[in-house]
Amino acid sequence: MKNDPQFLEALGKRVQQLRTEKGFTQQELCDKAEIARSQLTRLEQGDLNITVATLNALANAMSVSPKSLLEF
């Protein structure tokens, strides 16, 4: 299955929006979610298709539901 660039871009923007609303820098969120900063940077740019496990880790780190990351 081919990646949907519009979906990935929307997901990245949503993650960035929630991250900034919660007051996290990229590095702070990465440390809390235990992911690489390069991974978050690529995600926020719409260049990375993440796993459900990573989506869950980001949601937990920001104290939001995984579903809320997909509400765009």
Q: Which is nearest to 26 in space by CA: 43, 9, 10?
A: 43
| Structure token digits, residue 38 | 């390069």
- What domain count does the chain have? 1
Write down the pTM of the prediction.
0.92
**51: containing domain:** 5-69
Give the pLDDT confidence score for residue 4 in this predicted structure.
87
Q: Tens of pLDDT along 56-70?
A: 999 999 999 999 999
Q: Tens of pLDDT along 34-46?
A: 999 999 999 999 9
**Domain CATH for 64:** 1.10.260.40
Q: Tens of pLDDT along 4-36?
A: 899 999 999 999 999 999 999 999 999 999 999
13 touches 44 (CB < 8 A)? yes
Angle subtended at Cα 27 by Cα 16 and Cα 53, rounded to the nearest 5 degrees: 65
